[in-house]
Structure 1
Amino acid sequence: MKYQGPLLGVVAMTFVFGVAVATSVPAASLTTPDSFDNVEIDAAVGGEQSFAALDGAAPSVSRDGYVVHTPTPTPTPTPKAVAVSTSEGGYGGAQCQAGSDAVAESVAFSPVYPDGNRMSDGFGPRAEGFHKGIDMLNGPGVPVHSIADGVVIAASGDGGTGGVYLSIAHKVGGAAVCSMYMHFQDGSLTVGVGSIVTAGQVIGLTGRTGNATTEHTHFELYGADGVRYDPIPFLTEHGIAP
Structure 2
Amino acid sequence: MNHPQHGRRAAGRPQYRRAATTPTPVPRTHAAEPVTGAAPTAPRRRRAVAMLRPAMTLGAMTFAGGMLLSTSVPALAVTATDTEVRASVYAPAEDTISQRPQTLDVGSEVALEPIDVGGWDVEAAPPPIESSVAGLGNVSLLQSDRVVWPVDPSRTSDGFGPRNAPCAGCSTNHDGIDFNPGVGATIGSIADGVVITATESGGGLGVYVEVQHNIDGVVITSLYAHMQYGSLGVSVGQRVSAGQPLGAVGTTGQSTGPHLHLEMYGADGVRFDGMAWLNGHVTG
- TM bin (shorter chain): 0.5 to 0.7
Q: Distance in 2 between matches of 1:231 and 1:99?
A: 27
Deviations 1:42-82 (A, max 9, x none): xxxxxxxxxxxxxxxxxxxxxxxxxxxxxxxxxxxxxxxxx
Query: Given that residues 100 and 150 in structure 1 are in contact (C-alpha distance below 8 angstroms), is that contact kept between their aligned partners in structure 2?
Result: no
- Cα gap change, 1:218/1:99 in structure 2, threshold over 3 Å: closer, same or farther? farther
TM-score normalised per structure 1: 0.57
Query: Given that residues 210 and 221 in structure 2 are in contact (C-alpha distance below 8 angstroms), is that contact kept between their aligned partners in structure 1?
Result: yes
Residue 94 of structure 1, CA deviation: 6.1
Deviations 1:120-167 (A, max 9, x none): 000001123210000001211110010000000112112111010000
Residue 173 of structure 1, CA deviation: 1.0
Residue identity opposite 1:230 in structure 2: D
When structure 1 is superposed on structure 2, of 165-174 and 153-162 the one drifting more is 153-162
Q: Distance in 1 between matches of 2:183 and 2:275?
A: 23
Deviations 1:214-241 (A, max 9, x none): 1110001101101101112210111369
Query: Given that residues 149 and 198 in structure 1 are in contact (C-alpha distance below 8 angstroms), is that contact kept between their aligned partners in structure 2?
Result: yes
Q: Distance in 1 between matches of 2:173 and 2:220?
A: 21
Query: Given that residues 101 and 171 in structure 1 are in contact (C-alpha distance below 8 angstroms), is that contact kept between their aligned partners in structure 2?
Result: no
- Cα gap change, 1:181/1:109 in structure 2, threshold over 3 Å: closer, same or farther? same
Indicate yes or no: 2:143 matched with 1:105. Answer: yes
Identity of counterpart residues, as a percentage?
Answer: 44
The structure, 1 or 2, with the larger RCO (C-alpha pairs under 8 Å, 6+ apart) is 1
Corresponding residue SS for 1:119: coil
Q: Distance in 2 between matches of 1:99 and 1:237?
A: 31
Unpaired stretches in structure 2, ≥5 consecutive residues: 1-130, 166-171
RMSD: 2.3
2:243 corresponding residue in structure 1? 200
Query: Given that residues 99 and 151 in structure 1 are in contact (C-alpha distance below 8 angstroms), is that contact kept between their aligned partners in structure 2?
Result: no
Residue identity opposite 1:213 in structure 2: T
Query: Given that residues 146 and 200 in structure 1 are in contact (C-alpha distance below 8 angstroms), is that contact kept between their aligned partners in structure 2?
Result: yes
Within the candidate set 212, 235, 242, 1:169 is matched to 212
- How many residues end up aligned between the 2 structures? 147
Corresponding residue SS for 1:127: coil
Corresponding residue SS for 2:141: coil
Indicate yes or no: 2:221 matched with 1:178. Answer: yes
2:163 corresponding residue in structure 1? 126
Corresponding residue SS for 2:204: helix
Residue identity opposite 2:262 in structure 1: F
Indicate yes or no: 2:187 matched with 1:144. Answer: yes
- Cα gap change, 1:191/1:167 in structure 2, threshold over 3 Å: closer, same or farther? same
Q: Distance in 2 between matches of 1:217 and 1:102?
A: 28
Where do 1:30-179 residues align within 5 Å? 95=133, 102-113=140-151, 115-128=152-165, 129-179=172-222
TM-score normalised per structure 2: 0.49
Q: Distance in 1 between matches of 2:283 and 2:138?
A: 20
**Runs of 4+ residues over 2 Å off in structure 1:** 93-96, 98-101
Query: Given that residues 169 and 176 in structure 1 are in contact (C-alpha distance below 8 angstroms), is that contact kept between their aligned partners in structure 2?
Result: yes
Corresponding residue SS for 1:102: strand
